[in-house]
Structure 1
Amino acid sequence: MMLRPKFSSLSMIYRNYGAGTQKFATGAKKEPLPSLSDTFGRFHSYLRISLTERCNLRCQYCMPAEGVALSPKSELLTTEEIARIARLFVANGVDKIRLTGGEPTVRRDLIDIIASLKSIEGLETVAMTTNGLVLTRQLVALQRAGLDIINVSLDTLSADKFERITRRKGWDRVMMGIDLGVQLGFNPVKINCVVMKGFNDNEICDFVRLTEEKNVDVRFIEYMPFSGNKWEMEKMVSYKEMVEKIRKRWPDFHALRNGPNDTSKAWKVPGAMGQVGFITSMSEHFCGSCNRLRITADGNLKVCLFGNTEVSLRDAMRAGSSDDDLTALISAAVKRKKKQHAAEPRNLSHLFQRPSMNSVRFYSTRKLSHVDDDGKAKMVDVGGKRVSARTATAMATVKLTFELTKLIRENGLKKGDVLSVAQLAGIVGAKRTSELIPLCHNIVLNSIKVSASLDEGGQCIVLNSVVSCDGKTGVEMEALTAVSVAALTVYDMCKAISHDITISNIMLTGKTGGRSGDYKREEINLRSYDTSPINTEQVTVGAV
């Protein structure tokens, strides 16, 4: 299984929060299938598909005024690939699909996509989240194609403020699109509003007043820390604060009953046509009842919105995978879904820093540590960090031929004992990391351990390293350099016999210490590799 770290765009993030052998259902209610159930008993019946990275607005908390670099069209899912993914998920128990972006209405085949989704037996609901700019032109056709639910993202009821935050005109068109949705019978039209202190928190009651006059569901979303939105704790307005503000105007404002998988906490003003919801992604997370999975525009499956690991269904499909293969891939990813976010949402602020828009794509959720705000390479200043005990472990494998495996086992190579030499080379390489990697600090190391094990059955050498120090920065690069140099040494010693040698699986397997906390790679499967050290040499270093 190929895992690729990547992150979603900010627009996809807010829209995902602001919404819940091919075998087709026959119309009867499907029983939860194990392929979409995780290890915590959560069954995932709700799929969100991002159709595009493009958007026709330039919201200040989402992207720079000039826009961002987008993926080539060839990397995005085609209409047929979207339909295939949808059929597969519905066959495994999904009964609701939401289309998001970017901005989904900029995709020319949107009507065809909706029509193809509605043709899938067993799919009960097709929803869409949009900025509403073109609804007056498209909504009738979208409804005819089968669109069941519409969510409109709107952060202000002021035309001037709309233009200021989106860098585009069009507030009146959005409002007309909402009115058209009400007239067409969407029950209700949902309005997603990200509340930001100092920008639109003074409009909360104005939005609530809309629910008295129209059959709309206004859903207030707590401002979340994602790169590109200049997130600051003081800008967040909590669920509790919003309720208190509304109750000053409507004392009888009261909570409604919620469904088991609802992300929005429903409230209502007595006698109002519509209702109000609160999406408490920061103050009260709802991980325990999460039933959502997400597909990015380029075909990656995300099992958690805050997660940084994705599985490429696009690559698997284009490589010829069968539906059974895809189901197995999806099931394995769902089984790895964690119990909740990596950190409590209310404590996420320390994880996010504003990136340079010139150096990373706008959907990144972290800043590259060795890039400055102008996109230039820099060395990290660790002067303000505290000294702490740090360790890092890494591994690599070197695939051999049968002949090489036999010669190494018998120590029959003319250049000598491959395992011992590779082990020593790895130790030397770790000590010289700062000379090899331009932006690495020269660290005083406490200990370097490198082991080299011959796996005869797998015809490969497994290399492992453990590096430790007491310092202000970590030793991940030293551990990775150790196994990389050791692997290259194996190649150098064996190339006279055969060039059919493959170096692979160079990876960090764990780390401890430092501000980012401990890390352990979970998806490693070493089969029956014997990773016990062979002639292990431990070097305890004073001043390296």
Structure 2
Amino acid sequence: MLEDTFGRRFHYLRLSITEWCNFRCNYCLPEGNACDTPKDNLSLREVETLVAAFARLGTSKIRITGGEPTLRKDLSDIIAICKGTPGIQTVAMTTNGFNLKDHIGEFRRAGLDAVNVSADSLDPRMFSAITGQDKLQTILEGVELALRSGVSSVKLNTVLLRQYNHRELASFFDFLRDRRVSWRFIELMQTGDNQTFFEQNHVAGEPIKQHLLESGWEQVIRDKRAGPAQEFRHNDYAGTVGLIMPYSKDFCKTCNRLRVSSRGKLHLCLFAEEGLDIRASLTAGDVDATCQVVERLVAGKIAGHGLAQGFTGATRQLAMLGG
């Protein structure tokens, strides 16, 4: 089992398969992808080596991210590689949802267990203002199909933005009354290129947590392979609420995940100072060597991310690693 010097064990890998995204979310890629966005993504063979190594090291959950992962035509093959690797119990994906309606059946047959869909507003005009795309209805239809497809978990992700969707919380909660989804509310994080936007739009999650507890919501105990959200449930709601609060006290104490970029760099933290290149062993198809280099590098993981001090590391924007 992968373990760092602080006793944290890593059951969960977030694997980015592309930095490209077709949305222009104002908190991530307001101008779209730059012309110098890397194109040399990991090949299927390299993905196979990577997943085999992490499974050998105790990883049981893989989340496929982007950019937007469904832009890769071989996504179903990647899902199947992950699902077919001994030791991998859960294969999840985070997507902007534009392709979900047409392809959720294909992804499910390949082995997809869970899906997170970005949904930053339930108002079509606000959704378009945030994402640069008029796709809300198509995305919600894809969510409904995902719920009927047999995937074990459907989650919706909303980045809270003071000047945009902060007033929609009641609408989000109403959506949960009769749908078995988890709605994740994520604090906006400062990255290398969004300082002014961050200062204007950051919304702290702690007051929302207090409101939930005062309104009869109960906090749920996290599974060891769960992500960073604090989750809450209520007897009057079919769905649940999750809060991801990276600026909260001890957020990094329960870290259980590592990240690998679409170019084969290991990121010990979303806001690490740099990615650590492990691609040579992946290209060689050498599982043993990949295990050895990952174990050595994980030993250097530091205690926390430093976001509260304004440190954003090498993360220019969230599409680099899918958050």
- The answer to whether TM tops 0.5 is yes
**Equivalent of residue 62 in structure 2, options 97, 110, 113:** 97
Which one-letter code corresponds to 2:309 in the other structure?
Answer: L
**CA-CA distance at 1:285 after TM superposition:** 4.2
Alignment of 1:103-114 (within 5 A): 103-114=68-79
**Equivalent of residue 314 in structure 1, options 255, 279, 284:** 279
Which one-letter code corresponds to 1:165 in the other structure?
Answer: I
Q: Which residue of 1 aligns with 2:267?
A: 302
Q: Which residue of 1 aligns with 2:298?
A: 334
1:254 corresponds to 2:238? no
Q: Which residue of 2 aligns with 1:221?
A: 186
1:274 corresponds to 2:235? no
Measured in 1, the distance between the counterparts of 2:319 and 2:31 equals: 17
Q: Which residue of 2 aligns with 1:182?
A: 147
- Structure 1 residues 46 and 92: alpha-carbon distance in aligned structure 2, compared to 1, 3 A threshold: same
Task: Say which structure, 1 or 2, has more relative contact order (CA 8 Å, 6+ apart).
Answer: 2
1:137 corresponds to 2:98? no
**CA-CA distance at 1:67 after TM superposition:** 3.1
- 8 Å contact 1:300–1:310 — kept in the other structure? yes
Measured in 1, the distance between the counterparts of 2:137 and 2:102 equals: 14
DSSP-derived class of the 2:193 partner: coil
**Equivalent of residue 240 in structure 1, options 203, 206, 211:** 206
Which structure would you say has the larger Rg? 1
Which one-letter code corresponds to 1:203 in the other structure?
Answer: E
- 8 Å contact 1:192–1:219 — kept in the other structure? yes
- 8 Å contact 1:53–1:70 — kept in the other structure? no
Measured in 2, the distance between the counterparts of 1:308 and 1:78 equals: 25
**CA-CA distance at 1:253 after TM superposition:** 2.4
**CA-CA distance at 1:53 after TM superposition:** 0.8
- 8 Å contact 1:225–1:348 — kept in the other structure? no
Identify the range of structure 1 (138-147 vs 254-263) with the bigger mean alpha-carbon deviation: 254-263
- 8 Å contact 2:160–2:203 — kept in the other structure? yes
Show structure 1 runs of 4+ deviating over 6 A: none
**CA-CA distance at 1:220 after TM superposition:** 0.7
DSSP-derived class of the 1:213 partner: coil
DSSP-derived class of the 2:176 partner: helix
Measured in 1, the distance between the counterparts of 2:123 and 2:17 equals: 29
- 8 Å contact 1:127–1:149 — kept in the other structure? yes
- Structure 1 residues 352 and 79: alpha-carbon distance in aligned structure 2, compared to 1, 3 A threshold: closer
DSSP-derived class of the 1:204 partner: helix
Provide, for residues 392-429 of structure 1, a one-character-per-residue CA deviation record: whole Å limited to 9, x for no partner: xxxxxxxxxxxxxxxxxxxxxxxxxxxxxxxxxxxxxx
**CA-CA distance at 1:280 after TM superposition:** 1.1
Q: Which residue of 2 aligns with 1:128?
A: 93
1:86 corresponds to 2:82? no
1:152 corresponds to 2:117? yes
- 8 Å contact 1:268–1:275 — kept in the other structure? yes
**Equivalent of residue 68 in structure 1, options 31, 34, 37:** 34
Identify the range of structure 1 (225-234 vs 261-270) with the bigger mean alpha-carbon deviation: 225-234
- Structure 1 residues 222 and 284: alpha-carbon distance in aligned structure 2, compared to 1, 3 A threshold: farther
- Structure 1 residues 264 and 361: alpha-carbon distance in aligned structure 2, compared to 1, 3 A threshold: closer
**CA-CA distance at 1:363 after TM superposition:** 6.2
Measured in 2, the distance between the counterparts of 1:141 and 1:187 equals: 15
**CA-CA distance at 1:327 after TM superposition:** 1.8
1:199 corresponds to 2:160? no
DSSP-derived class of the 1:157 partner: coil
**CA-CA distance at 1:260 after TM superposition:** 4.7
Provide, for residues 47-81 of structure 1, a one-character-per-residue CA deviation record: whole Å limited to 9, x for no partner: 110010111111122124353124453x2211111
**CA-CA distance at 1:108 after TM superposition:** 0.3
- 8 Å contact 1:227–1:364 — kept in the other structure? no
Q: Which residue of 2 aligns with 1:42?
A: 8
**CA-CA distance at 1:361 after TM superposition:** 6.6
- 8 Å contact 2:65–2:94 — kept in the other structure? yes
**CA-CA distance at 1:247 after TM superposition:** 6.4
DSSP-derived class of the 1:127 partner: strand
**CA-CA distance at 1:239 after TM superposition:** 1.9
Which one-letter code corresponds to 1:65 in the other structure?
Answer: E
Measured in 1, the distance between the counterparts of 2:158 and 2:309 equals: 21
Provide, for residues 150-177 of structure 1, a one-character-per-residue CA deviation record: whole Å limited to 9, x for no partner: 0001111110111111112211111111
Identity %: 33
Alignment of 1:476-515 (within 5 A): none
Q: Which residue of 2 aligns with 1:117?
A: 82
**CA-CA distance at 1:252 after TM superposition:** 1.8
**CA-CA distance at 1:339 after TM superposition:** 1.7
**CA-CA distance at 1:144 after TM superposition:** 0.6
- In structure 1, the gaps of 5 or more residues are 1-31, 354-359, 366-544
**CA-CA distance at 1:234 after TM superposition:** 5.1
- Structure 1 residues 173 and 187: alpha-carbon distance in aligned structure 2, compared to 1, 3 A threshold: same
- 8 Å contact 2:46–2:285 — kept in the other structure? no
- Structure 1 residues 209 and 247: alpha-carbon distance in aligned structure 2, compared to 1, 3 A threshold: farther
Give the structure-1-normalised TM-score: 0.55
- 8 Å contact 1:239–1:280 — kept in the other structure? yes
**CA-CA distance at 1:258 after TM superposition:** 2.6
DSSP-derived class of the 1:98 partner: strand
- Structure 1 residues 187 and 231: alpha-carbon distance in aligned structure 2, compared to 1, 3 A threshold: same
- Structure 1 residues 125 and 106: alpha-carbon distance in aligned structure 2, compared to 1, 3 A threshold: same
- 8 Å contact 1:212–1:269 — kept in the other structure? no
Which one-letter code corresponds to 1:264 in the other structure?
Answer: A
CA RMSD across the alignment: 2.4
Measured in 1, the distance between the counterparts of 2:217 and 2:294 equals: 42
- 8 Å contact 1:131–1:154 — kept in the other structure? yes
**CA-CA distance at 1:245 after TM superposition:** 4.7
DSSP-derived class of the 1:49 partner: strand
Q: Aligned residues, how many?
A: 318
Which one-letter code corresponds to 1:124 in the other structure?
Answer: Q
